[in-house]
């Protein structure tokens, strides 16, 4: 899952990127409203963390422009403004959730998980496909209750497929959502990660849909 952090405070920006990266997300970052608007308008993010008090272009304007342009990704607003009228303004501009500074990083992580979960139509932190379980809260994967150790990229690939269980996902979509902006993207690496995942899971849940991409579905004996 790929996220965008738009925050002008360099220390807080770095803390957010570190925490989100450690939680298994690919993270892009911007330090002003103009850059943040451009990235959100041109890249396919699964969710955005957006500060309101940004230089060059304020967060409310950024959000309103995204929504006017049809950008539907969930947006979590971070701001030092804690008046109810500011919260109402943020929600009316198209925000999905709101956290006032100062905040605990665990709360931000939990709210991001909830936004991603709701946008994909899931009710809990545990995503399942047959005997495969992925816990988005702990970033742990298991098969029939037995833990499976994955690299960060393998985890991101499985998590994206689990969030979109039952839907065909193209290689291009996977590349766009698994890697941050600075990563040297190569769709051929997706096939490598899929092969590794299949081997580590030891069960046939990742189906290749010829000419289209991949789809996660339970094995026949688990349906």
**Same domain as 139, residue 91:** no
**Same domain as 134, residue 28:** no
**Same domain as 106, residue 14:** yes
Domain boundary pick from 119, 150, 168: 119
Domain boundary pick from 79, 97, 119: 119
**DSSP string across the chain:** -EEEEE-S-HHHHHHHHHHHHHTT-EEEEESSHHHHHHHHHHS--SEEEEESS-SSS-HHHHHHHHHHTT----EEEEES---HHHHHHHHHHT-SEEEESS--HHHHHHHHHHHHHHHTT--SSEEEETTEEEETTTTEEEETTEEE---HHHHHHHHHHHHTTTS-B-HHHHHHHHS-TTS---THHHHHHHHHHHHHH-S--EEEETTTEEEE---GGG-
**Same domain as 139, residue 110:** no
CATH code for the domain in which residue 99 is found: 3.40.50.2300
* Structure confidence at residue 221 (pLDDT): 56
* Structure confidence at residue 33 (pLDDT): 96
Distance in angstroms (rounded) separating the CA atoms of residues 201 and 114: 26
**Same domain as 110, residue 138:** no
* Structure confidence at residue 84 (pLDDT): 74
CATH code for the domain in which residue 207 is found: 1.10.10.10
**Same domain as 131, residue 104:** no
Of the chain, the percentage scoring pLDDT greater than 90 comes to 60
Q: Which domain holds residue 37?
A: 2-119
pLDDT tens-digit profile of 141-163? 999 999 999 998 899 899 999 99
**Same domain as 152, residue 114:** no
Spell out, as residue ranges, where the chain has pLDDT lower than 50.
none
Q: Which two tokens stand for residue 92?
A: 């009316």
**Same domain as 105, residue 153:** no
* Structure confidence at residue 222 (pLDDT): 53
**Same domain as 114, residue 30:** yes
* Structure confidence at residue 105 (pLDDT): 94
pLDDT tens-digit profile of 88-124? 888 899 999 999 888 899 999 999 999 998 887 777 8
**Same domain as 132, residue 110:** no
Question: Into how many domains does the chain fold?
Answer: 2
**Same domain as 196, residue 147:** yes
* Structure confidence at residue 68 (pLDDT): 95
Closest CA to 185 of 148, 153, 214, 162: 153
* Structure confidence at residue 83 (pLDDT): 72
* Structure confidence at residue 172 (pLDDT): 87
Domain boundary pick from 119, 150, 165: 119
Residue 149: count of CB within 10 angstroms of its CB: 9
* Structure confidence at residue 183 (pLDDT): 63
**Same domain as 196, residue 87:** no
């Amino acid at each position: 899952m790929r996220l965008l952090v738009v925050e002008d405070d360099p220390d807080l920006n770095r803390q957010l990127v570190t925490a989100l990266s450690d939680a298994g997300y690919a993270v892009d970052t911007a330090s002003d409203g103009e850059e943040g608007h451009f990235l959100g308008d041109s890249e396919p993010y699964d969710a955005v963390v957006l500060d309101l008090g940004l230089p060059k272009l304020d967060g409310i304007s950024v959000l309103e422009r995204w929504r006017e342009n049809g950008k539907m990704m969930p947006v979590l607003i971070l701001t030092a403004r804690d008046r109810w009228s500011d919260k109402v303004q943020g929600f009316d501009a198209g925000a999905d959730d709101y956290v006032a500074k100062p905040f605990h990083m665990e709360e931000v992580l939990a709210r991001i998980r909830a936004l991603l979960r709701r946008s994909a139509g899931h009710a809990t932190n545990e995503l399942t496909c047959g005997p495969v379980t992925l816990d988005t809260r702990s970033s742990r994967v298991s098969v029939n209750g037995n833990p499976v150790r994955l690299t960060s990229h393998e985890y991101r690939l499985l998590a994206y497929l689990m969030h979109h269980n039952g839907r065909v996902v193209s290689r291009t979509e996977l590349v766009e959502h698994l890697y941050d902006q600075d990563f040297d993207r190569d769709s051929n690496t997706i096939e490598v990660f899929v092969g590794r995942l299949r081997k580590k899971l030891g069960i046939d849940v990742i189906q290749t849909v010829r000419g289209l991409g991949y789809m996660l579905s339970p094995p026949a004996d688990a349906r």
